[in-house]
Structure 1
Amino acid sequence: MTYRVRVASVYLLGFFIDLVNMFIASVAYPEIGRHFDAPVSQLAWISNGYILGLTLVMPLSRWLASRLGARRLIMLSLLIFIVSTCGVSAAASISQLIAWRWLQGIGGGLLIPVGQTLTYALYQNHERARLSSVVMLVALLAPALSPALGGLVVEQLSWRGVFLVSLPLAGAAFVLAAWWLKADRPAAKADSLDLTGLVSGSAALTLILFGLTALGEAARYGEGALMLLAGLVVLNSYVRNARRKRRPLLNLQLVKDPLFHTAMLIYQFIPGVFTGVSVITMLYLQNQLSMPASVAGTLMLPWSLASFAAISLTGRKFNRWGPRPLLIAGCLAQAAGMGLLALTGQAADTLIFLLAFALMGFGGSLCSSTAQSAAFIQIADRDLADASALWNINRQLSFCFGVTLVSLLFNLLANAGMVPQHAYHLCFAIAACSAIIPLLFALRITNHRVILILNRESQ
């Protein structure tokens, strides 16, 4: 096994652990709520606390790697994750549980961007499409397996066992990182920490995440809007301050790269909006059409199969076709899938639901895997650490943004006095139309230039 395969294996195992830990917890919410007598608003922060920890620590990853070395930082992040996992499983109150989940997020938030930076630096641009396909397959596998595994653990053991599932995986990742990764020395002259940027950036991200969460709840529109506005004001202050510094906490100039910012926007409007639509769809199927939860859950099977096909297609054709045709096809497929949902009216419309989910799976995964492959093509190796942190922050925010946007849209339509079924249908139709935005950005990609870069490097 080559060194770069070993590095990639450690990164992918860490990525898998992060995703399992994110998706498996929701299955245990009912039992946790009964155990601690906790309302839904508090239960939501079991996931939100984890996401907050992930997002807040990512901007620090490049600076910490320069101070400690990448190998030490990966091992430290895994150690934090292992300790906090034990803390989560032993929590005596819902507040303790959320606090330990936040610390768990910090461990995962250090692991992912540092591991991705190490891995992508060892692969040339023309090799990254296949690497990205493997990354996206991991991203597909974890959400598909986690709910079923979590449900089994809850039934056979308890809710505490759900959080311990990732413990042996984290232990294995720690051993492999110590064994396989080469020891690297910290930078001789590491940059001083941009403390102002850290404080303002963390405050902005916290306010934005809190605001998006509150906006998704019908009774907290005003509170959510104020926090989101405050977060955007603080973020603007951070950006202006960063532009004046030689070495800010994160190099925001990287966002000017056309491929990079297009890939980030694709993630917001394709996987992000699908996350929101999937939440509303489950409510529509079970509350409006009285479809059993077990039947509704099986609709993720065609989604998963179509996603696998899309990811495989990206790995095989990206270097030959370039990103533009793949992104255009993905946007149109997801829009068609969401549009089909607006044509349903009863639980017996099985074929329409199967086709809708298959189209959304194919289109969404075609876009996300292509975006992952294209994002770093024009990013210099010296900027990979900052680019990786920005990419992963954007990825986390996309899921919050999508759920908030679609939930807010549906609540506004429902509160406007519309018949519930019409509100669902119009919500699906508007979500389908949102694909126009990433589609227009995809049309602006200079595809021949990307193919030229990939072909030149493969020779």
Structure 2
Amino acid sequence: MSYRYKIASVFLIGFFLDCINIFMSAIALPSIASTFNTGTANVAWVANSYILGMTLVIPMSTWLASRYSSRNVLSFSMVLFGCSVFFCGLSTSLYELIGWRFIQGIGAGLMIPIGQSLTFSLFQQKQRAKVSTFIMMVALIAPAISPTIGGLIVEHLSWHWVFFSSAPLSIIVSILAWYWVDNDNKADSERPDIKGLFLVSTALIALLVGMSIYSNSQYGIKAELIGTFAIVAALILVGIYIEHDKNHHDPIINLSLFKNNKLTLSIIIYYAIPGVFTGINLLNIFFLQDVLHFSADKTGMFMILYGIGAFIAIIACGKTYNHIGPKKLFVISLLIHSAGVASLLWVHLGSPIYVIILAYILMGLGGGLGANCAQTTALMDFDEHQMLKGSVIWNINRQISFCVGAAFFTMLFNLFCMNAHFQNADAYHLTYLIAALIGIFTLIFIVKRQKVTL
């Protein structure tokens, strides 16, 4: 095997591990919530803490690689990932599990950008398209099969083994990285914007904590005030960062890049489609298992349908992107995805299973089309100098959209559950309705502001 394919293999296996750990653990959340006797808002932090760890370290990964060498950082990241995922499985409390998931996210956050950068540097022009296809296939296959595998593990073993199962492969990747990646010379590089990173990370944590606390009825009025304070604090920190961005020559998130219409539109789409789906899928996992009494493995199988829809959409996007253009494709993806979310309104105890099948296929079609189109469009106008800064914004945005989507819809659901007029199933359906409407409002925004002709 040539050197560049060894590097690509290390990156793709590490990327696969990251993807399956997001979706396998999601299927296990109802079982984890039952074990620790907690609700959806609290157990959502099992996913949020992982993404927070990634968000925190992604902007520092290239600096660490230049300072300590790519081989050392890649190998260490997978050791950290493997050890933390093992301790996730040994966790005896929810807070312990959340802590180890945060560390696991740091390991993934080091691996992904460095591995991608090394791989892309070795595959140029037309060859890069082949690698991009491999990456898209991993990004498609892992979410499609991992919920089913995770469901089978939960049903026949326990949720602990959802985490244990990833440890051996991560250690193998660490060994491969140590022996296959050249020990490149360390180079002095400019220290990253630590203050900006602190402000962004703290603002995100405050926002997620505020929504989580605010949505828990058992905490009482005093806790709700604390939650409101946390959300206000997040907004204040965002304001401080805006001033910091004006005075720093190389901020961690360069806000001036948001003047690029394609980047801004792609970010909005990512919140309206993948962000919304992350939150709705999380809630629907609980709905299917707790209300409809589906098994974990049966629940996980619906993601295969999502993957089939996404696969079809990705192929369609590649064939039609240059002909139709991104804005019209965004409109089509929002329509299809919102229709899929709205289909969940007709899912109830005793309803035919084809309604759920239709919902996941439509969400897969809309999600695959919207995400792939956004990925293609976001950095299209950037030159080589702006590409790295734009890439940082894009990768951080992707992680934050997942966090915010999960936290926001979990908060809405719990707020509806507090209302005595709503039964549990009603709270789920009302949350699905709002999610569908968010897609429609985003569609109207694109049509009016971006002057899209239908």
Band of TM-score, shorter chain:
0.7 to 0.9
Say whether 1:381 aligns with 2:384. Answer: yes
CA deviations on 1:206-228 (whole Å, 9 max, x unpaired) are 21232243345445654333212
Larger displacement relative to structure 2 (63-72 or 292-301): 292-301
Match of 1:225 among 221, 225, 228: 228
Partners of 1:145 and 1:291 in 2: CA distance: 18
Shift of the alpha carbon at 1:359?
A: 1.0
Q: What corresponds to 2:242 in structure 1?
A: 239
Q: What corresponds to 2:405 in structure 1?
A: 402
- The 1:256/1:133 distance shift into structure 2, 3 A limit, reads farther
Equivalence map 1:105-254=2 (5 Å): 105-120=105-120, 134-154=134-154, 159-188=159-188, 190-219=189-218, 221-254=224-257
Q: What corresponds to 1:334 in structure 2?
A: 337
Say whether 1:366 aligns with 2:365. Answer: no
CA deviations on 1:329-350 (whole Å, 9 max, x unpaired) are 2111111222333345663343
Shift of the alpha carbon at 1:394?
A: 1.6
Q: What corresponds to 2:277 in structure 1?
A: 274
Task: Give the partner amino acid of 2:140.
Answer: L
Q: What corresponds to 2:22 in structure 1?
A: 22
Q: Is the 8 A contact 2:148 2:300 kept in 1?
A: no
Q: What corresponds to 1:455 in structure 2?
A: none
Equivalence map 1:401-420=2 (5 Å): 401-413=404-416, 415-416=418-419, 418-420=421-423
Partners of 2:451 and 2:132 in 1: CA distance: 21
Q: Is the 8 A contact 1:270 1:435 kept in 2?
A: yes
Q: Is the 8 A contact 2:151 2:299 kept in 1?
A: no
| Partner SS, residue 379 of structure 2 | coil
- The 1:254/1:100 distance shift into structure 2, 3 A limit, reads same
Partners of 1:295 and 1:79 in 2: CA distance: 33
CA RMSD of aligned residues (A): 3.6
Say whether 1:436 aligns with 2:436. Answer: no
Shift of the alpha carbon at 1:157?
A: 5.4
CA deviations on 1:13-44 (whole Å, 9 max, x unpaired) are 22211122233335555776787x56457654
Shift of the alpha carbon at 1:268?
A: 0.8
CA deviations on 1:251-297 (whole Å, 9 max, x unpaired) are 34333322222222211110111222234444555666666766555
Task: Give the partner amino acid of 2:351.
Answer: A
Partners of 1:162 and 1:353 in 2: CA distance: 25
Task: Give the partner amino acid of 2:397.
Answer: N
Say whether 1:307 aligns with 2:306. Answer: no
Larger displacement relative to structure 2 (290-299 or 202-211): 290-299
Shift of the alpha carbon at 1:237?
A: 0.9
Shift of the alpha carbon at 1:431?
A: 1.9
Larger displacement relative to structure 2 (238-247 or 347-356): 347-356
Partners of 1:170 and 1:414 in 2: CA distance: 40
Task: Give the partner amino acid of 2:443.
Answer: L
Larger displacement relative to structure 2 (71-80 or 98-107): 71-80
- The 1:89/1:402 distance shift into structure 2, 3 A limit, reads closer
- The 1:249/1:399 distance shift into structure 2, 3 A limit, reads closer
Structure 2, gaps ≥5 residues long: none
Structure 1, gaps ≥5 residues long: 448-459
Q: What corresponds to 2:76 in structure 1?
A: 76
Identity of aligned residues (%): 38
Q: Please report the TM-score for the alignment, with normalisation by the length of structure 1.
A: 0.82
Shift of the alpha carbon at 1:57?
A: 1.6
Q: Is the 8 A contact 1:88 1:163 kept in 2?
A: yes
| Partner SS, residue 351 of structure 2 | coil
Partners of 1:95 and 1:289 in 2: CA distance: 29
Partners of 1:415 and 1:95 in 2: CA distance: 24
Q: What corresponds to 1:452 in structure 2?
A: none
Q: Is the 8 A contact 1:197 1:238 kept in 2?
A: yes
- The 1:312/1:191 distance shift into structure 2, 3 A limit, reads same
Q: Is the 8 A contact 2:152 2:297 kept in 1?
A: no
CA deviations on 1:180-212 (whole Å, 9 max, x unpaired) are 444433444x21343432432332232123224
Q: Please report the TM-score for the alignment, with normalisation by the length of structure 2.
A: 0.82
Shift of the alpha carbon at 1:368?
A: 0.9
Partners of 1:82 and 1:346 in 2: CA distance: 40
Shift of the alpha carbon at 1:246?
A: 1.4
Q: Is the 8 A contact 2:154 2:296 kept in 1?
A: no
Aligned length: 445
- The 1:78/1:351 distance shift into structure 2, 3 A limit, reads closer
Q: Is the 8 A contact 2:44 2:407 kept in 1?
A: no
Shift of the alpha carbon at 1:140?
A: 3.1
